[in-house]
Chains A and B, each alone.
Chain A
Amino acid sequence: MTAVAVAAGARIRPRVGPGLSRLITYTFLLAFVLYVLSPFLAILVTSIAQDWFGGRILPGSLTLRWFDWAFNVTNLPGVMANSFIIAGLTIAISLVIGIPTAWALGRRHVRARNVLMTLILLPKTVPPITFALGLSREFYSFDLVDTHLGVALAHTTLALPFVVLIMSATFAGLDERVLEAGRVCGGNWFRNLVHLVLPMAMPGLMASVLFTFVTSFNEFTLTLVTYGPDTLTLTVQTYLAIGDGFLEVASAISVVLLVPSVILLLLIQRQIRPENILGGVKGL
């Protein structure tokens, strides 16, 4: 079997030996990995480097000073708390609005379904800065600027399309006959919701929560027009630090900012297969 495959391969590429072909493959792979990872590497090194100027290839020495600065000078714990509070609020609002909407779209006959879907996707398809401009004007008139709720509401406009798409696909995928069996077995709507619908929709729910969290935690454009001194988030703080010329401090904050995303990425990679979640999603 293997011998046949090798023989076939040899016939197709008679001049390139297996060693060379492998070398080429790995070179490209390595280049790709470096390209994707190099910004992270740069940030990571900057955040712990000292005397890393000019043409030096490696920093003169390593230090945790920038993290110290980040924590003391910029009130990093408070900023981090803001990011988490806002992300939490965004998750809550997105689920509360998104789940019933998704249920209606996925399981009921909705007349203006296409119009609704377009509307839901709109905030994701227009240039963020355009959307941000409109949003900020609105927020000023409602006094929502510099409140956790306000920033979370702004983030919700971005997270909601994800939640609605994922959850409506999840709900549409639920087998009506199984739910009917639940009712016939004697379960009222609440019991069937808790014992049947929720467990069966769990992968979609998990994905919604994770996506919403990442969206909010990493959001920049909309935050910039809705934040204030009390609602400074990690992304905006990073931006401000860059603006002030503290590249090392900005890098240190970025590293902190990266941690949840990396954890989530690992979680997603382990627990959730994208094809399962997005299998039924159309128009994404």
Chain B
Amino acid sequence: MGAMIELVDVVKRYGDVVACNRLNLAVDQGELVTLLGASGCGKTTALRCITGSLRPDGGRIIIDGRDVTDVPTHKRNIGVVFQNFALFPHLTVVDNVGYPLRVRGVRSAERRERAIEALRLVRLDGLGGRFPRELSGGQQQRVGLARAIVYEPTVILFDEPLSNLDAKLRLEMREEIASLKDRLGFTSIYVTHDQEEALSLSDRIAVMKDGVVHQVGRPTEIYGAPKTAFVAEFLGNPNRLTGVCVERTEDQVVVEADGQRIAAIAESDTPKVGERAVVYVRPESVRIRNGTASADESTLRATVVRSAFLGDSTEYILSLSDSVSWHLRLEHTTRLTVGEAVDLSALRAGCRAFALGESADDGTHRGASAEA
């Protein structure tokens, strides 16, 4: 089966800002693909190009085999769930949900029936007579969801639908969207800047930065094998160490920083000897060393700077040098005291090295380049 949604070289500029820079993405039937990226990287812009609210400066948009680049929004037959809900304030919940049916000429009795059915699907039965202002944030977003699914569009777009909800509700709604998708089988693009949301909800993730897709892949691929420094930095909240590549063999790259050496797995694009490099280390690959390190672990010296109790575990901030601090979560069975010197072991499989070229990909100037 071909792609349900296809973006081909989509370009969108606002003056000097290139919000989407030759975006390519293909979403298969029934798939949920997440656009993941920091604020301002062009996620909403990409979505608005798909809905037709924005006309791309270049490229094509194809939905279900039909080139819709020049089709007006109201003829694209897409469901959208908005970040700010965007409900019609003067209409009741039932009329809000029924609006897509109303403009499609569905008679009022059937409209009502189907709206109530959609409300039942999002577990909002009985609130149909209220106005949006009489609902809590979570309930409003459910109405938004019901309005998007009520006319059974084949494609539903989500623009950070959960970002205005509290943490608990966010989890709940995430589950709900996943189960709705399983039941109704729609194809969707889901925009978020929340990596956990992306990892848990997506069939595939497209990681974006400054209008460019850096990597597309299944959550495990994106997390386990990031292709660029940005992707590695963006997901999994890694520790980092910046230094110079001092050794490169068949299966590992060694980077030295402030007298400490760390080994990372070698890949085709890893840095050459003598080049400046950054190593990203997954927190779960770091442990307190007791006894000797195995062959695939590097040993690093650190001092405990601070600790934070998190309930099920304690997070320690460890200083490797004046400028480098790492964080490490430990079960309560291991206790460290502030000021204590410890030896850390970093598993090679959890370490990735990237060359620090001139390019903006080094991840250090992320904020600055987003503003530029």
Contact = CB atoms under 8 A, between A and B. Distances in A.
Contacts of A188: 72, 74, 103
A191 B103 contact: yes
B311 interface: no
A284 interface: no
Interface in B99-113: 99-100, 102-104
Interface stretch (B2-10, B83-91, B207-215, B337-345): B83-91
B100 A185 contact: yes
A109 B78 CA distance: 28
Contact of B90 (A177, A187, A191, A200): A200
A183 B74 contact: yes
Q: How big is the B interface, by class?
A: 20 to 34
A152 B51 CA distance: 45
A181 B90 contact: no
Interface in A197-216: 199-200
A185 B82 contact: no
Nearest to B79: A184
B239 interface: no
Interface in B137-151: 147, 151
A200 B73 CA distance: 21
Nearest to A196: B88
A148 B86 CA distance: 45
A178 B53 CA distance: 12
B77 interface: yes
A200 B86 CA distance: 13
Contacts of B78: 184
B89 A185 contact: no
Contact of B99 (A177, A195, A200): A195
Nearest to A184: B80
B90 A184 contact: no
B66 to A, nearest CB: 16
Interface string A165-189: 0000000000101101111111110
Given A188-B103, A196-B88, A180 B74 contact: no
A195 B102 contact: yes
Contact of A178 (B51, B80, B89, B103): B89
B99 A187 contact: yes
A36 B184 CA distance: 67
Contacts of B84: 177
Contacts of A186: 74-75, 77, 100, 103-104, 151
A233 to B, nearest CB: 37
Contacts of A200: 88-90
B86 A178 contact: yes
Nearest to A181: B86
A76 B111 CA distance: 53
A200 B100 CA distance: 18
B14 to A, nearest CB: 13
B104 A175 contact: no
Contacts of A187: 74, 99, 103
A185 B106 CA distance: 13
B114 to A, nearest CB: 14
Nearest to B104: A186
Nearest to B151: A186
B53 A180 contact: yes
Contact of B103 (A177, A185, A199): A185
Given A175-B89, A180-B51, A183-B73, 9 more contacts: A180-B53, A182-B99, A185-B99, A185-B100, A185-B103, A186-B100, A195-B103, A199-B90, A200-B88
Closest 5 CB pairs of A and B: A181-B86, A185-B100, A183-B73, A187-B103, A177-B86
27 contacts: A177-B82, A178-B86, A178-B89, A181-B82, A181-B87, A181-B147, A182-B99, A183-B52, A183-B73, A183-B74, A184-B73, A184-B74, A184-B79, A184-B80, A185-B99, A185-B103, A186-B75, A186-B77, A186-B104, A186-B151, A187-B103, A188-B74, A191-B103, A195-B99, A195-B102, A195-B103, A200-B89
